[in-house]
Amino acid sequence: MIDWLLEFNGTLNNFIWGPVMLVLLVGTGFYLTIRTNFFAIFKLRYVLKNTLFKMFEKGHEGAGEITPFQAVATALAATVGTGNIAGVATAIATGGPGAIFWMWLSALVGMTTKFAEVVLAVKYREVTPDGRFVGGPMYYIKNGMNNKWLAATFAIFATLASFGIGNLTQANSVAASLQESFKVPPLATGVVLAVLTALVILGGLKRIAQVTERLVPFMALVYILGGGFILIKNAGQIPHAFGLIFSGAFTPQAAAGGFAGATMKMAIRRGMARGVFSNEAGLGSAPIAHAAATTDSAVRQGLWGVFEVFIDTIVICSLTALAIIASGVWNNGSTGAALTTQAFESTIPGGGYIVSIGIMLFAFSTLIGWSYYGERSAEYLFGPKAITPYRIVFIPFIVIGAIGGLDVLWDIADTLNGFMAIPNLIAIIALSGTVISMKKDFFEKELGKN
């Protein structure tokens, strides 16, 4: 029975992440990028000036529950996860270095997709009777498109996906890393991780935001410093690494060492899938957190969406990829977190500890971020009464993920990601005119001020 289910999921996964999904996902990003005059790329300096250099400001105009940075920190907590370490390594191990090019492409157009998601989430958010701000794809589908059926469909898949991408795979990667580096039994890892997660998520959004605004900058800085040191030590191999990435993006890569070889189709699929798994642009998850931000403009909050994808994929994922390729371990037959660990250990004595610590922090942050996404989706479907039962069910799944199998969990997570993305991308395309109009008005006002 289990083998049949796995085979069925494999077939379903191949369809979900086949040509149709790639065209819809990348096509939506290209469409929005062109219609916004490539603003996420050409105005990246403006975006960083109004996000990166203002992230710790406390006073903000407008309505909301948490600060704009707390919102993006919660979103980054969910997106900067094991996909940045294990997911990137898996993409290289199965699709070759060329997969990274397609991951970059998905991120460049994904910046505009994420911008559109956040803008719509803030515009169409609602305020509950007890004063909470709730939003996300289910709300802009319902309020913007007037399609309750499609909104419910997204909420169902988002609730289910929170147990895959946001729970099982994260716990599994932590358990595997700690077992390899410190010989910690997976069950023990699962229990401790479940307890720590419970202490945060049972306090609701305010506690999640308070934890993530401190945790995310710290964990990102530690990992960036470690990865940066590897690149400095292997600086002479960086041009060769870029050569492998660009050449492998458009040509099949032959078997070498323990690498089984990869076709261009495999590179595209693995790169795109891992890119989405990492930055989640197009999935509709992050807008759920951004909808609670205190802001006077949906577009202003949308800038944080651009920043989010840039940091997650262009910075952190690229750091992982270049460390793996430049260190020369990419074709040794390993995959997942083990491959990233080998890249760090080949350059830094005890470098595997940096990866293990990074995975622990990244996965923990993803667990608490995604618990909020799933909780809000469940609340949309069943009302506030679903919040406590959801939390109670979410916590033990962490233990289940810690003792599960990695390959199976990645495949299931990919499938659920695809099902989430479809209704969300349909909504973004349908409401793209609203996004374009709001973006135009915002920047006309900004130009007027200056």
Tens-digit pLDDT profile for residues 239-264: 999 999 999 999 888 777 777 777 88
Would you say residue 355 has pLDDT above 70?
yes
pLDDT score, position 407: 57
Q: What are phi and psi of 125, to 5 degrees?
A: -70, 165
| Cβ atoms within 10 Å, residue 44 | 16
Q: Is 296 exposed, middle or buried (0-12, 13-18, 19+ CB in 10 A)?
A: exposed
- Residue 334 vs residue 246, higher pLDDT: 246
What is the three-class DSSP state of 165? helix
pLDDT of residue 382: 96
Q: What is the pLDDT of residue 410?
A: 60
Q: What is the band of 1 on the pLDDT scale with cuts at 50, 70, 90?
A: low
Cβ contacts of residue 369 below 8 Å, gap of 6+?
74, 75, 76, 77, 78, 79, 166, 208, 212, 289
Helix (H, G, I), strand (E, B) or coil at 248: helix
Q: Average of pLDDT values for 79-88? A: 79
Q: What angle do CA 258, 263, 264 make, to 5 degrees?
A: 130
Q: pLDDT exceeding 90 applies to what percent of the chain? A: 53
pLDDT at position 279: 86
pLDDT in tens, 276-333: 777 888 889 999 999 999 999 999 999 999 999 999 999 999 999 999 999 999 988 8
Q: Where are the domains of the chain?
A: 2-449
User: Which one-letter amino acid corresponds to residue 433?
Assistant: G
Task: Count how many Cα atoms sit within 13 Å of the Cα of residue 220 in the half-sphere of its side chain.
Answer: 22
Q: Check: CB of residue 244 under 8 Å from CB of residue 252.
A: no
- Alpha helices (runs of H) in 204-251, residue ranges in sequence order: 204-233, 238-250
- Write down the pLDDT at residue 349: 84
User: Which pLDDT band, with edges at 50, 70 and 90, does 5 fall under?
Assistant: low
Terminal CA-to-CA distance of the chain, rounded, Å? 65
Rg for the chain, CA atoms, rounded: 20
Task: Kindly tell me if the per-residue pLDDT of 115 is higher than 60.
Answer: yes
CATH superfamily of 2-449: Amino acid/polyamine transporter I (1.20.1740.10)
Shortest CA distance to 70 belongs to which of 304, 282, 376? 304
Weakest mean pLDDT among 54-68, 85-99, 157-171, 414-428: 54-68
Q: Which tens digit of pLDDT belongs to each residue from 35-61?
A: 999 999 999 999 999 998 887 776 667
DSSP state of 185: -
Per-residue confidence band for 423, with pLDDT thresholds at 50, 70 and 90 = very high
> What is the average pLDDT score of the chain?
88
Mean pLDDT is highest, among 63-67, 118-122, 344-348, 397-401, for 118-122
Question: Which pLDDT tens digit goes with each residue over 357-375?
Answer: 887 888 888 899 999 999 9
Portion of the chain with pLDDT greater than 70, in percent: 94
pLDDT tens per residue across span 379-393: 999 999 999 999 999
Sign for the pseudo-dihedral over CA of 164, 170, 172, 173: positive
pLDDT at 447: 67
pLDDT, residue 94, reads: 87
- Phi-psi category of 64—alpha, beta or left, where left has phi over 0 and alpha has psi -120 to 50? left
CB atoms within 10 A of CB 145: 16
d(CA 411, CA 406): 9
User: 259-264 long-range contacts, Cβ below 8 Å, gap at least 24?
Assistant: 259/93, 259/96, 259/330, 259/331, 259/332, 259/333, 261/96, 262/94, 262/95, 262/96, 262/98, 262/99, 264/98
**Cα 80 to the chain's mean position, in Å?**
6
pLDDT band at 19 (very low <50, low <70, confident <90, very high): low
Its pTM stands at 0.90
* For range 119-148, the mean pLDDT: 97
pLDDT of residue 188: 94
